[in-house]
């Protein structure tokens, strides 16, 4: 007799940077949503789902196809949760409803099979990049998104591509150390939320780091990006696994 036991698990993904011109990534993502995600208890998307997002009113075939794919998963009973990244922090309730996804605050503690786990995009941990942190505060203020979203789409498109060009130039000059998380910040967040496990993306440095918070063993799990491959984190009660998908 063959026993096929199903061990419940949850998927985490981040930094897909989806755009209409990367069909290889999009297809990999659609296949994941269709074939793998339906077996999970839930799917968490921890930011930078899109390469750029200038407003829910920027509707096109590409964004609709992504919304539809999420919606199909959601309809099959798998909840999808989303935390904003630094590329798609202008996603609002309109897109969320269309996609059937639930928007979460920038930091959230979830009960992951008995282990309280803090989830976030992770850009808030990179505090050595002072200039970026100043932009982040503005981008997350009540007034800046309102101002941006009130501008005509054509202007927002121009501003976004200009902003990305500038940020690319700046990033090229920043050291690897500045672009990684600040260890003290990691500890501070884990202390504040009283957790021994943190999951985030943003740095594109997939790894499971063992550390200590107040002399107690803790874990920081970093999700991989989707530029050269698909990247999943699969967590069950028993195991934590970083998985790559071929594009």
**Footprint on this chain of Mn ion (rule: CB under 5 A):** 48, 85-86, 202
Smallest distance from the beta carbon of 186 to Mn ion, in angstroms?
16
Alpha helices for 124-182 (secondary structure H): 130-139, 143-150, 153-173, 176-179
Q: Which is nearer to Mn ion, 56 or 123 (CB)?
A: 123
Cα separation, 139 vs 90, whole angstroms:
9
Report DSSP letters for 207-224, one per residue. EEEEEEETTEEEEEEE--
Q: Which single residue brings its beta carbon nearest to Mn ion?
A: 202
Task: Tokens 């009130």: give the residue.
Answer: 150
Smallest distance from the beta carbon of 44 to Mn ion, in angstroms?
15
Q: Which is nearer to Mn ion, 85 or 230 (CB)?
A: 85
Q: Which is nearer to Mn ion, 55 or 85 (CB)?
A: 85
Smallest distance from the beta carbon of 41 to Mn ion, in angstroms?
25
Q: Which is nearer to Mn ion, 52 or 78 (CB)?
A: 52
Q: Which is nearer to Mn ion, 118 or 213 (CB)?
A: 118
Q: Which is nearer to Mn ion, 10 or 86 (CB)?
A: 86
Cα separation, 44 vs 101, whole angstroms:
10
Cα separation, 187 vs 210, whole angstroms:
12
Q: Which is nearer to Mn ion, 137 or 237 (CB)?
A: 137
Number of C-beta neighbours around residue 230 at 10 A: 22
* Cβ-Cβ contacts under 8 Å for 116 (sequence gap 6 or more): 109, 110, 193, 194, 195, 196, 197
**DSSP 3-state of 52:** coil
Which 8-state DSSP code applies to residue 25? H
Smallest distance from the beta carbon of 135 to Mn ion, in angstroms?
12
Distances (CA, A) of 147 to 140, 141, 151, 157, 227: 12, 10, 7, 14, 31
Smallest distance from the beta carbon of 136 to Mn ion, in angstroms?
10
Smallest distance from the beta carbon of 85 to Mn ion, in angstroms?
4
The backbone torsions φ and ψ at residue 75, rounded to the nearest 5 degrees and listed phi first, read -65, -30
Smallest distance from the beta carbon of 185 to Mn ion, in angstroms?
15
């Amino acid at each position: 007799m063959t026993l096929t036991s199903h061990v419940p698990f949850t998927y985490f993904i981040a930094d897909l940077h989806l755009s209409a011109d990367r069909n290889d990534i999009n297809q990999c993502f659609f296949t994941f949503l269709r074939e793998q995600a339906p077996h999970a208890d839930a799917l968490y998307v921890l930011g930078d789902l899109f390469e750029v997002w200038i407003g829910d009113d920027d509707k096109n075939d590409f964004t609709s196809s992504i919304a539809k794919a999420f919606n199909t998963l959601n309809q099959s009973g798998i909840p999808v949760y989303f935390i904003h990244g630094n590329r798609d922090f202008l996603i609002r309730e309109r897109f969320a409803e269309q996609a059937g996804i639930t928007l979460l605050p920038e930091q959230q503690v979830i009960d992951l099979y008995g282990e309280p786990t803090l989830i976030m995009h992770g850009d808030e941990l990179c505090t050595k990049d002072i200039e970026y942190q100043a932009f982040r505060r503005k981008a997350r203020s009540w007034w800046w998104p309102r101002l941006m979203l009130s501008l005509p789409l054509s202007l927002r498109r121009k501003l976004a591509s200009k902003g990305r060009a500038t940020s690319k130039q700046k990033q090229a000059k920043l050291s690897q150390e500045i672009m990684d998380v600040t260890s003290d910040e990691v500890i501070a967040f884990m202390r504040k939320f009283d957790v021994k496990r943190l999951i985030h993306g943003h740095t594109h440095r997939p790894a499971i780091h063992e550390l200590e918070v107040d002399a107690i063993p803790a874990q920081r799990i970093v999700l991989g990006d989707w530029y050269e491959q698909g990247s999943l984190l699969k967590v069950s009660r028993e195991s934590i696994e970083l998985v790559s998908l071929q594009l």
